[in-house]
Amino acid sequence: MAALNLQKGASSHSAYDLRDPYADIEERHTLAVLVENEPGVLARVIGLFSGRGYNIDSLTVAEVDHQGHRSRITVVTRGTPAVIEQIKAQLGRIVPVHEVHDLTAEGPSVERELGLFKVASTGEQRVEALRTAEIFRAKVVDSTLKSFVFEITGTPEKLDAFAELMRPLGLVDQARTGVAALSRGQ
C-alpha cells in the first residue's frame, strides 16, 4: 500500500485536518480581541507580543461599545500553529481581555485596509497614475499641479499591488490604517 502524499499546510477547514500542529510552517493569522476600554490595556497586549518576540504585521484599535466601554483590537501576526495557539491562550489570560477570536481559523472573514498614497509626477506619468488608480478604484482626494493623493480601500495585497505599480510613476509617500476584519455569516 502506498503512503499518503500529504502537503504541509493542508486546509484547516477540512474534516480531515492532518496538519501537524507543531509544524515549522509560519502562517498569517488575524486575531480579534475584545477588551475593556481603559488605560494601559493596549500596552499590556502589545507587551505580550514584544516580551515573547512575536511580530505584529498590523494593528488596529477602536472603541466598539461606548456604553460597555469595550474596544476591539485587531492584530495580524505570523507564526507556526503552535505559536498562534500560544498567543491566543496568553491573550485570553490577560485580565481586561473578554474574548479572543482567530478569524483565520474560525472560517471566512472579510479584511479591509485603507491607504493614502501620494504620487508626484507630471506629463505622461501623471496620466498613467490616473489610469492605474481608476483600475484599482482609487479615489483622488487631493490634487495639485504636481501631485495626487489617492485613497484606496481593499485587502492588504491589493494595497501592496497598488503601491508597486505607483512606485515607478512617482510614489512619494503612503499611510495605511492596518487591517480591520470581521467574520462572515452568523
Predicted pLDDT of residue 57:
93
Handedness of CA 70, 103, 179, 128 (dihedral sign): negative
* Cell (9 digits) for 171: 510614489
CA distances, 59 to each of 5, 13, 44, 45, 75 (Å): 38, 25, 14, 11, 5
For the whole model, what pTM was predicted? 0.78
What whole-number distance in Å separates Cα of residue 129 and Cα of residue 169?
6
Q: Which residue has the cell 488575524?
A: 30
Mean pLDDT of all residues in the chain?
89
Band of pLDDT at residue 21, cut at 50, 70 and 90? low
pLDDT score of 4 more than 60:
no
* Cell (9 digits) for 77: 501576526
DSSP 8-state assignment for residue 54:
-
Q: 148 with 132: CB under 8 angstroms?
A: no
Higher pLDDT, residue 2 or 135: 135
Of the candidates 122, 123, 128, 110, the residue with the CA atom closest to the CA atom of residue 166: 128
Of the candidates 122, 167, 166, 168, the residue with the CA atom closest to the CA atom of residue 146: 122
- Model confidence pLDDT, tens digit, residues 23-69: 578 899 999 999 999 999 999 999 999 988 899 999 999 999 999 99
What whole-number distance in Å separates Cα of residue 134 and Cα of residue 96?
44
* Cell (9 digits) for 72: 476591539
Q: 184 with 107: CB under 8 angstroms?
A: yes
pLDDT score of 151 more than 80:
yes
As a whole-number percent, the residues of the chain with pLDDT over 70 amount to 88
Band of pLDDT at residue 13, cut at 50, 70 and 90? low
Distance between start and end Cα atoms, the chain: 43
Predicted pLDDT of residue 15:
55
